[in-house]
């Protein structure tokens, strides 16, 4: 009798979809043995809006604002991926001035995305201060977006063939002053977290995903780079003139959550380097290539992928020669990275699940689309 | 030995505390007192729509070309017009803009050939009813009326 009383049974625990640490509406069904996680099952689709289907009923220009709403933390990167895919489809390349402006804005967006990740990740771990600081700095980036295109989050900054809006007066000065102001802020976050013993206890050795497993799951972005793989699409297949800029690909060694943190911090510094180079050498000239008002791409298909803040973001567009795309398939980095959650979580404690979901840097708008 | 001493003296935590202490200064406060102080939005801000009128004669600038309605991804603009027998031009009769479905992408503004339709800097679009979000020609031409919450 006493024996059965002490027996431990498998406990099934629902985490989400309203749990604040799942960064949206992700539902994770945890199978627990005491405090240990023995298995997980992700339930997604709570934020499904059918964006890919919407594309089939819109013209190419009309669909551009919708892609901003997938990864709303990095809307500019989404827009860049989409316009590059359509430009490849119709055989148009944006003028150099537009390309430089695109690089500046996407890298600013990468910083904003990483800042938001850092703040929420630290909040999940239990450090509330970084959230206030990172959101304060992110605000400055959003102000640049607002000044440039009139919206802060769902920017719709780029158009097929170039840019709609000319850079405003004082853009270069504002971006440069942001860079100067922002570098000590990164050091400040590092002071708060990098050597903090609670932060290290919670992150070092948690959620290890080595390079082989990363490749097996198709995981990209900072998660892959923290496993020591020097893979960055900006270097591997340069787009939008990234080959002109000099920057490093930060890599980690231990493939754990702490290394992913370090990689993302370094990525912010490298983004600042790219922005500085791009602002210094922004060419004059037109901002819009010749694109017909009524866009009818030739029959064909195209796959274009870019390095979004969260990993490889790909757009596969099939055109049947009409006004609307026949099919738009998005390869969202968050969805693919989330597949690895089960392996990373197995054997960890319940509290580590929150840390691991945080380190994957997922956005549910992009997973469910 | 040094590591032990560091551990006992909580140096890593004190380092972080020093950062928070530095940020205590009142000049670092970023709070906006919103209803009292309205935030200044950017010049290009895409907010409430407005249908511009010619300031000289009070007539609408809209030429009823319907391009904004065609450009809109959500099909929320409805323009109707009648052919003027004298000038052989289209005269605008009604212009309906459904702000409840609008995502402020700015495509209608870009499509307008005469700068009649414009997204303004007003951002207070709340209404108590769904019907209140569907703006007719008169509301659009009068433009946004920002609420003053304080005297």
Ranges of each domain in chain A: 55-326
Q: Give residue A6's pLDDT.
A: 59
A44 or B88, greater pLDDT: A44
CA proximity to A108, closest of A78, A142, A134, A131: A142
> In this predicted model, what pLDDT tens digit does every residue of A120-136 receive, in sequence order?
988 888 888 888 889 88
- Whether chain A has a CB inside 8 Å of the CB on B4: the answer is no
Q: Render pLDDT for A172-187 as a digit per residue (tens, 0 to 9).
A: 888 999 988 888 888 8
What is d(CA A284, CA A112) in angstroms, rounded to the nearest whole number? Answer: 27
| Confidence band of A1 (pLDDT split at 50, 70, 90) | very low
Give the C-alpha separation, A115 to A99, whole Å: 24
Pair B99, B144: CB distance under 8 Å: no
Do residues A50 and A313 make contact, with C-beta atoms less than 8 angstroms apart? no
Confidence of residue A303 (pLDDT cuts 50, 70, 90): very high
A194-216: pLDDT as tens digits: 888 888 888 888 888 888 888 88
Nearest CA in chain A to B119: A150
User: Predicted confidence band at A282 (pLDDT cuts at 50, 70, 90)?
Assistant: confident
* pLDDT, mean over chain A: 87
A9-13, A265-269, B107-111: segment of lowest average pLDDT: A9-13
Reference B91, options B139, B137, B140; nearest CA is B137
Interface ipTM = 0.80
Selecting from A63, A150, A156 the residue whose C-beta is nearest the C-beta of B42 gives: A150
Look at the alpha carbons of B112, B116, B122, B126 in this order and tell me if their dihedral is positive or negative. Answer: negative
The verdict on a CB contact (< 8 Å) between A64 and B45 is: no
- Residue of A242, A317, A342, A272 whose CA lies nearest to A39: A342
With CB atoms and an 8 Å threshold, state whether A66 touches B73: yes
Residues of A with CB under 8 A from a CB of B: 58, 61-66, 69, 129, 133, 136, 139, 143, 146-151, 154, 156, 164-165, 168, 188, 191-193, 195-197
Contacts 24+ apart (CB under 8 A), B112-115: B112/B67, B112/B68, B113/B63, B113/B65, B113/B67, B114/B61, B114/B62, B114/B63, B115/B52, B115/B61
pLDDT in tens, A104-119: 999 999 999 999 999 8
- pLDDT of A223 above 70: yes
The predicted pLDDT at position A315 comes to 92
What does pTM read for this prediction?
A: 0.87
Q: What is the rounded distance in angstroms from the CA atom of residue B19 to the CA atom of residue B14?
A: 9
Element (H, E) at A76: helix A75-90
Burial class (CB in 10 A: 0-12, 13-18, 19+), A145: buried
Per-residue confidence (pLDDT) for residue A111, from 0 to 100: 92
Give pLDDT tens digits for B38-85.
888 888 888 888 888 888 887 788 888 888 888 888 888 888 888 888
Percent of chain B clearing pLDDT 90 (strictly above): 0
Nearest alpha-carbon partner for A275 in A182, A186, A179:
A179
What is residue B83's three-state secondary structure?
strand
Q: Indicate yes or no: CB of B16 within 8 angstroms of CB of A62.
A: no
Q: Which residues contact B144 (CB under 8 A, 6 or more apart)?
A: B47, B48, B50, B120, B122, B124
Going from the C-alpha of A281 to that of each of A162, A172, A310, A345, the distances in angstroms are 18, 10, 27, 45
**CA–CA gap between residue B9 and residue A317 (Å, rounded):** 59
* Band of residue A318 on the pLDDT scale cut at 50, 70, 90: very high
Torsion (CA) A98, A103, A107, A109 in degrees, nearest 10 = 30
CB contacts of A156 in chain B (<8 Å) are 105-106
Classify domain B49-142 by CATH number: 3.30.70.3270
Q: How far apart are CA B20 and CA A193, in angstroms?
A: 12
Residue A5 has pLDDT above 70, yes or no: no
The CA distance from B34 to B148, in Å, is 11
Q: Is B146 on the interface with A (CB under 8 A)?
A: no
Quick check: A252 and A263 in contact, CB under 8 A? yes
Among A47-51, A87-91, A146-150, B140-144, the range scoring the smallest mean pLDDT is B140-144
Q: Which CATH architecture has domain A55-326?
A: Orthogonal Bundle (1.10)
Contacts of residue B139, Cβ cutoff 8 Å, sequence gap at least 6: none
Would the pLDDT of A309 be above 70? yes
Nearest to A58 among B12, B43, B73 (CB): B73
């Amino acid at each position: 009798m006493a024996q059965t009383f002490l027996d431990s049974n498998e406990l099934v625990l629902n985490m989400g979809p309203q749990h604040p640490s799942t960064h949206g509406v992700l539902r994770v069904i945890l199978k627990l043995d005491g405090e240990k996680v023995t298995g997980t099952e992700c339930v997604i689709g709570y934020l499904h809006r059918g964006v890919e289907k919407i594309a089939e009923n819109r013209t190419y220009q009309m669909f551009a604002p919708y892609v901003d709403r997938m990864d709303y933390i990095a809307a500019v990167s989404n827009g860049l991926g989409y316009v590059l895919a359509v430009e490849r489809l119709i055989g148009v390349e944006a003028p150099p001035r537009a390309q430089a402006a695109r690089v500046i804005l996407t890298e600013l967006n990468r910083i904003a995305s990483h800042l938001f990740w850092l703040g929420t990740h630290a909040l999940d771990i239990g450090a509330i201060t970084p959230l206030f600081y990172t959101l304060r700095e992110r605000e400055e980036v959003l102000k640049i977006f607002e000044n440039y295109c009139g919206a802060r989050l769902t920017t719709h900054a780029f158009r097929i063939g170039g840019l709609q809006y000319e850079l405003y007066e004082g853009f270069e000065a504002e971006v440069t002053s942001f860079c100067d102001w922002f570098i000590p802020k990164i050091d400040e976050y590092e002071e708060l977290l990098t050597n903090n013993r609670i932060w290290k206890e919670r992150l070092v050795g948690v959620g290890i995903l080595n390079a082989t497993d990363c490749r097996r799951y198709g995981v990209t972005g900072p998660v892959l780079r923290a496993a020591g793989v020097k893979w960055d699409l900006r270097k591997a297949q340069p787009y939008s003139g990234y080959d002109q800029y000099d920057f490093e690909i930060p890599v980690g060694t231990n493939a754990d959550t702490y290394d992913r943190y370090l990689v993302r911090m370094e990525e912010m510094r490298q983004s600042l380097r790219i922005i500085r180079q791009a602002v210094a050498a922004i060419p004059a000239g037109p901002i819009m290539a010749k694109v017909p008002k009524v866009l009818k791409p030739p029959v064909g298909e195209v796959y274009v992928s870019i390095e979004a803040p969260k990993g490889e973001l790909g757009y596969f567009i099939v055109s049947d020669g009409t006004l609307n795309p026949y099919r738009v398939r998005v390869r969202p980095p968050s969805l693919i990275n989330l597949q690895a959650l089960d392996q990373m979580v197995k054997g960890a404690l319940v509290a580590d699940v929150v840390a691991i979901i945080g380190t994957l840097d997922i956005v549910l708008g992009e997973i469910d689309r | 030995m040094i590591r032990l001493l560091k551990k006992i003296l909580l140096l890593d935590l004190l380092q972080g505390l020093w950062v928070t202490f530095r940020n205590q200064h009142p000049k670092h406060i970023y709070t906006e007192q919103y209803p009292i102080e309205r935030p200044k939005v950017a010049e290009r801000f895409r907010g409430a729509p407005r249908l511009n009128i010619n300031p000289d004669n009070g007539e609408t600038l809209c030429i009823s070309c319907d391009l904004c309605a065609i450009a809109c991804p959500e099909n929320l603009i409805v323009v109707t017009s009648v052919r003027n027998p004298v000038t052989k031009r289209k005269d605008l009769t009604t212009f309906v803009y459904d702000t409840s479905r609008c995502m402020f992408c700015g495509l209608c503004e870009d499509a307008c050939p005469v700068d009649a339709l414009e997204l303004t800097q007003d951002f207070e679009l709340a209404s108590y009813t769904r019907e209140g979000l569907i703006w007719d020609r008169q509301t659009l031409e009068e433009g946004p009326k920002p609420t003053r919450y304080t005297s």
